[in-house]
């Protein structure tokens, strides 16, 4: 099983490093043969190769069975031409590898209900799956507004525009993914749109409704995005599977992250039609804390678990990692983003110590199971 390791920028190298150590631990326990190769991406690749997604990195990603990705971006690259900014690496990978379905589970662990910004009774037992379409919408619409300069900014310009677009086949395939996911869960899909003002999302609503006819065992509701944003903080447990477009999904999944206590807890998977995928935490590169050893690696570790489940067909190993994360949280370990005063018997730890604890919990679970 070949895994491309793309740490990226900022805290990316720190959190991916811990996820790789956890993968090594679970591979030893389960007898898995994992072959990893690391490459530069994002700002690190701009510095070394002059482009955020060099051909060598793209070739490695194409050849791999799965990709473990960290995060890209840094304020120092903001003046670059947009095509050369670090964030173009992830957009390029999605486009070239046809990764159209983004799975972002928002799960509130019992041990972290107090860390949520909402009342514990609103988030206890929360388990939402947001499915975001990744290759269409305004992020990829053409043509784009022309700028008066090549540095990514447009001083003196009077107008700029981006075109929102979706095609019927793009909407159909993501709708099928959502309904099939719901069949494995609680059989309810909420399709989020803005059909009352956007023609793009009137098409979205119509096509999702048509596809739903093939899934009579799944309940479908339509919801405007502004209402969905409100309901996520008013009554989040009313949702099961949420399917939406690229931009709305980007925003709503980050909102859902805070329901769980921290965006540092949210993994994600971006899959193609054959379940080959890129796995990454839902958060960014956080250059303000890079190198300080305080970043939460759990979202990346849980992304590695998703990789084992979806792309590498190793569900037992995926379950083992997720159980180890629960064990570590139950033991009271917290990185700064999920720690606060007055939590009782909890201990603030750094990135490396959290990774150590998860890897050790995997080995300990094995010993307990065999004894």
DSSP bridge partners of 2: 35
Q: Which residues pair with residue 102 across a beta bridge?
A: 132, 270
End-to-end CA distance of the chain: 30
254-257: Cβ within 8 A, 24+ apart:
254/282, 255/229, 256/104, 256/106, 256/128, 256/130, 256/232, 257/106, 257/282, 257/283
Q: What is the mean pLDDT of residues 236-259?
A: 93
Fold adopted by 127-152+160-259: Isopropylmalate Dehydrogenase (3.40.718)
pTM: 0.88
- Across the beta sheet with 66-71, the strand order is 35-38, 2-8, 66-71, 277-281, 267-271, 101-107, 127-133, 241-244, 188-193, 219-224
**In angstroms, rounded to a whole number, what is the distance separating the alpha carbons of residues 192 and 181?**
16
Q: Is the pLDDT of residue 342 over 70?
A: no
Give the residue-averaged pLDDT of 117-129: 89
Kindly report, residue by residue over 289-326, the tens digit of the pLDDT. Answer: 999 999 999 999 999 999 999 999 999 999 999 999 99
Residues taking part in catalysis: 139, 194, 226, 250, 254
Q: Which tens digits make up the pLDDT trace of 259-282?
A: 887 888 889 999 999 999 999 998
Instruction: Please report the pLDDT score of residue 368 as a whole number.
Output: 46
* Crossing angle of helices 225-234 and 246-259, rounded to 10°: 10
The CA distance from 208 to 191, in Å, is: 8
Q: What's the pLDDT at 118? A: 84
- All CATH 3.40.718.10 domain ranges in the chain, comma separated: 1-104+266-371, 127-152+160-259
* 1-104+266-371 CATH choice from 3.20.20.70, 3.40.718.10, 3.40.50.300, 3.30.70.141: 3.40.718.10
Strands 66-71 and 127-133: unpaired
Average pLDDT, the chain: 92
């Amino acid at each position: 099983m070949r895994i491309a390791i793309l740490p990226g920028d900022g805290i990316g190298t720190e959190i991916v490093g811990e996820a790789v150590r956890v993968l090594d631990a679970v591979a030893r326990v389960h007898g898995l043969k994992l072959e990893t190769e690391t490459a530069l991406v994002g700002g690190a690749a701009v510095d070394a190769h002059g482009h955020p997604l060099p051909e060598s990195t793209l070739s490695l990603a194409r050849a791999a069975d799965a990709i473990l990705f960290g995060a890209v971006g840094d304020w120092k690259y903001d003046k670059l031409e947009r095509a050369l900014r670090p964030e173009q690496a992830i957009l390029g990978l999605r486009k070239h590898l046809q990764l159209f379905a983004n799975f972002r589970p928002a799960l509130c662990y019992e041990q972290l209900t107090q860390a949520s910004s909402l009342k514990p009774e609103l988030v206890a037992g929360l388990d939402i799956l947001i499915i975001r379409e990744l290759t269409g919408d305004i992020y990829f619409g053409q043509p784009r507004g022309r700028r008066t300069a090549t540095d990514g900014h447009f001083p003196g310009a009077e107008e700029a525009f981006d075109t929102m677009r979706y095609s019927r086949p793009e909407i159909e395939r993501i709708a099928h993914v959502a309904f099939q996911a719901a069949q494995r869960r609680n059989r309810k899909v909420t399709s989020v749109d803005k059909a009352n003002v956007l023609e793009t999302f009137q098409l979205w609503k119509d096509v999702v409704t048509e596809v739903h006819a093939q899934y009579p065992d799944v309940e479908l509701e339509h919801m405007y995005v502004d209402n969905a944003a409100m309901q996520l903080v008013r009554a989040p447990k009313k949702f099961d599977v949420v399917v939406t477009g690229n931009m709305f999904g980007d925003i709503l999944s980050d909102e859902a992250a805070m329901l769980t206590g921290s965006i540092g807890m949210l993994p994600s998977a971006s899959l193609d039609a054959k379940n080959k995928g890129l796995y990454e935490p839902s958060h960014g590169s956080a250059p303000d804390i890079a190198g300080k050893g305080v970043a939460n690696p759990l979202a990346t570790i849980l992304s590695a678990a998703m990789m084992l489940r979806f792309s590498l067909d190793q569900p037992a190993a995926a379950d083992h990692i997720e159980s180890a994360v629960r064990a570590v949280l139950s033991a009271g370990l917290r990185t700064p983003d999920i720690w606060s005063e007055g939590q009782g018997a909890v201990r603030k730890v750094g990135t490396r110590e959290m990774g150590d604890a998860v890897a050790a919990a995997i080995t300990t679970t094995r010993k307990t199971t065999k004894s």
